[in-house]
Copies of this chain bind each other. A is one copy, B any other.
Amino acid sequence: MTQTNDVQPKQADEETRAAVLRSALLLCHERGFVNVTLEAIAEGAGVAEDVIAGLWPSKAAVVIEAFSSAIGNRFTSIDTGDFEADLRGQLTAIARIFGDPNISPHLRQVIGEAQHDETVMPAFLELVFGPNRTAAHTLFVNAQRNGQVRKDVDLDAAIDLVFAPFWFRLLLHTGPTDDEYAAAITDLALAGLR
């Protein structure tokens, strides 16, 4: 009995969470992130708004978790020991995610909203930026350790250098992010301009 009581509330919680995330994702596709409200997410999920407010700190946190779950393992950092291949793989994955018309318009709106709504960036940093940054950092540290990245490289600037171009094109709308772009950025970042 004790075991069953422990498990059932968790399952119910998981089902509620999943329904809320599905509702958030659907609403973003229908009306865009800026026009999504907690009330509408609650209605779509068939739960009370209070329940959502108890599980997430903000609308942004719900939506960002919904997109993170949807992207899932499309952006998993793999560390095979071949830095060039791993970097190329990661940049190709990010180029494809940012080039996906089911993702990029929503990601743009989330980051856009973050420029004047202070509840957005903490959720983004915790759920998206933080974990990916940590994984990238491990990859770069290992590459530095085994001589595939120079010892004197400032890793924080180096990680910015390889990922920033994709954000730049996503947010300034100045060009596509595709496999060709990922290849060009990988080559340039490894070899330098000179």
Contacts and interface: CB of A to CB of B under 8 A. Distances in A.
Contacts of A41: none
Contacts of A154: 184, 188
Nearest to A140: B193
Interface of A: 32, 34, 108-109, 111-116, 121, 124-125, 129, 148-150, 153-154, 156-158, 160-165, 167-169, 171-175, 181, 184-185, 188-194
22 contacts: A32-B116, A34-B116, A108-B115, A109-B115, A111-B172, A113-B115, A114-B171, A114-B173, A121-B172, A129-B172, A153-B188, A154-B184, A157-B165, A157-B184, A157-B185, A161-B193, A164-B164, A167-B167, A171-B171, A188-B189, A188-B192, A189-B192
Given A109-B115, A157-B185, A161-B188, 5 more contacts: A111-B115, A114-B173, A121-B173, A160-B169, A164-B165
A164 B164 CA distance: 5
Main secondary structure of the interface of A (DSSP, over half): helix
